[in-house]
Each structure stands twice: as structure tokens, then as C-alpha cells.
Structure 1
């Protein structure tokens, strides 16, 4: 993976998320503006951001990395939405996206050992030396990353392209190694609400026919024995069941919009009215899968 072409890759990542600026991407990734500016100015290939973006948005890793694959339909929909939306609403949408805690986090300084072991498995090798030979890197380079637990984003991208193995599995071991070639299934991030906090629980695989159509960013969220398929990307808050955060606590609540920027919040035990700005909306529930009939 050549360490260049970063500017165009960053622009494709911005488009994949539907953002309108690199600053919005900085906020989403939790990085400083100077880090972004440095990579952009030096044209440095952002392998770690490519991995994160492909997992989160479903955009083709080939398109993100090189721009040569077919542009994802979600990008075209985002471009149409951006063209039809006024600047004030775009700024608000970017702000809403920054609030969402549903994201893939990759720490460049940890997870390297396990990821390298998965790379060896993916290629069918038996040793790290065989992996080093295949990647055309020195034994000391691989040993240094392994000992320092440095996350090998560039090698993961190459392996995914060469083997067809799931990028998510290569990155963190979650989900199946191979996704269906028939495109009849969808791979969703899965989170569970425990004691008012969202916890990552790997992934869920659903037949697409079971899910609502036109979801931009479907997420599986489980609470109290039920799993909700929720929309993590939205332009407005409408009436319905939502995953929300109130004073640091995440829960499932029914929201009803009221004039003058207010909202009625209803649960099994209580209901009250407050300003919409006083809560953080995370995702809107679209359907439910229950273990009990």
C-alpha cells in the first residue's frame, strides 16, 4: 500500500460519510484539525481511516482506497441530499453526527498482535515470517509492529482486497470471516444497553428481506431481551421510539414532538416534557426482534 494519494482518499471518506467538510470528519474520528491538515498537506495515505470508514459506512474499500471501483449508491444519495439541503441544515446535521457514540474505534497503538495473527490465518500461512515475505516487509518491521502492538491498517486493507475476507473480522475479529457473495445479507454493528451505557457486542447478520428498506445506517441495539433495528443517520427527529441519552444515561424512549422545540418523552414508568435540545438522540428504532412471543 503506497503512502500517497491521501488527499483524494480523504475527500472520498468525507463523501462516504455525507459530511460537507474535513472538519466534520475530524470531529467524527475524534482527531485534531492539525492531524487532518498534516496528512492532507503531505498527501499521506490514511489507512486507518479507510478501515474505519469502510466498516462504518459499507463503502467499497477499493473505491475508498483508489477510487477505481463503482461509486457506492449511498454516496450518490448523500450528494443529492447535500445539493437539496441549505447550509444551516448541513451544519446541524454534522453536529448531530458528532454527538452519536455509535462508531468504530481503532487505536493505532493497540490491537496489532491479534490483527497480525488474523492476517496470518487469512492468508493461510503458518508463521509471521511467511506473512512478512508475502507483504515484502522485513522481519524486523513485522516484529516491531507485533511487539509494540501497532495496528496494521495498511496490511489489513491489502489482505481484505487480496483474500475477500471481511474487513471487520480482520480489524477486530467480530462477525463472520466471509460475507455472502449473493448480497442477500447485511452485516450490522451490534450494541447492548447495560446500566445506561452502550456496549459493543460484535455484529449481527440479517437477511435483507427482513429489514426496512432505505435505511442509511442500520444498527442493531439490544435492550431488555429485545433487539431493535435502528437508523443511526437521520436529518430530523420525528415521532417514534428512539435510543436517546439523558444526562449521560442511554435508554429506549418514545418521543412525541411538541411545538416550540419541545418533546414529550414516554417510558413504561414515567413521562415528561422537555426541550429537544436537552437530550441527545442516538438512533430511531425501525423494527423489533424479540426472543419471546
Structure 2
């Protein structure tokens, strides 16, 4: 552990550049910071206080490794307030974050990588300058959060986009209707928002010019669109119940009446997808 590096990370977390400002943030006498450097030791309570005050990860504060580190999210200023905040974090705090993002220990390593002279980097520290072009380059180069590099706030690595919950998609059997018979055709992904309250017995059946979501758990035939088996051949019909135990079956090819006992329901159609090309 480099005491100088630990102090710089604490300062970066507080977004301060001077030892005096850091001492004020830690609520210690101004000469304590230089004493820590001379003794090559930082009181652990100072590190803990920084973590509690800023949300900085203890692991990162102590050794600079931040695979799981983040800083506490706070309301983000906008416009000029944000611009002023970014400029106020120039100099050593932003340099410290850049070095840690690249995993460098020395300013020379950063200079060699970006072909920037050591004098230029030292000028950033001396003048508390915010090197915006280097910050953007570092964010693109390392994947570290631009918000964290620029302000010291937020997560060091952007949070991944939330994955689509598997519960939102239902995989159901898919079939092709060929000459009155169903042929297995894998599975079909159904958005659960389109599914009925009961998903048991759902099948997706694809025909020549249309496809249907079919609930095979429904077996008591009634008015509506149904898959019907007639003499062991399946087809889709619009069904109307008639008195005397009869039904009227209609589709693009036929329109006829028969007894309800003369047909076998395969399932009720939940919705129809039609092809127009």
C-alpha cells in the first residue's frame, strides 16, 4: 500500500486538491496529512470516514482495485452547476482517477501511453487543470464511467442494462399445419402480456397464410374460432352453436352445419396472425 496513493484516492473521493482542503474534509488538523506521508501511515479511521462520507469503496481506497467499487450516487447537478463541479475536480483528484482506471502507478506510464510529456501532466496538478480530452479518452479506453472520472461520483463502471426477465417470455410448442396434420416445428417465444390467464396447453400453429395461438385445454366447444378435427383432419373454423346440439362451421373454403358430436375440438384460438405478403 502506497500512503501517497491512498491519500490521493481519499482526496479524489472528496474532490479536493490540497492537503488543507482534505484535512478540513476529514476534520483533522492541517498538518496531519503531511505527518501521515512522513510516517508512511494513514489512520484507518480516516479511510473509514472517507468511505462513510463519500460512499467510496474501502477496497479501492486502500489498494486502488475497484472491480466492485463504486461511489454513492447523489443527485446530479445540471448545466452550469455541473460544469463548475467538473472544473473543480481538476488537478490531482482527476489524475488519480485516470491513473487508477488505467492501472498505472506513475504519471510517466500515462504520459507514455498517450504521448503526453511529464511536464504537461505536472501542469495539470499545479494549476488544478481538468484535462477533458484525456478524461474522455480514458473512459472510452477503459470502460470506466465518464461520470465517475469527471466528478468522482456514481459507479466506477457503468451498470449493465437490466436484462429482460425470463418470466416475461414464455416458450411454447410450435407446429406447422400440413394437409390437416400438425408437424412439430420447435418452440415459439410468446410475450406473456399476450397470453391468457392460464398458459397450460398453449400451442402456436403456423399455416400457409396465417398462424394461431391455440389453447388446447379448452375442450367444451362454444362460439368462437376453433381448431376442429373432422375425420382425423384438423382445420380452423369459426363456430356458432345452434339449437338441437348442432353447430355451424365456417372458414374460407366451407360453410356447413353438423352435430356437435360429429366433430372433435382440438382447442380454441386465442388470436390469429395473418400474412398479407
Instruction: Give the TM-score range, shorter chain.
Output: 0.3 to 0.5
Q: TM-score, normalised by structure 1?
A: 0.36
Q: TM-score, normalised by structure 2?
A: 0.38
Greater C-alpha Rg: 2
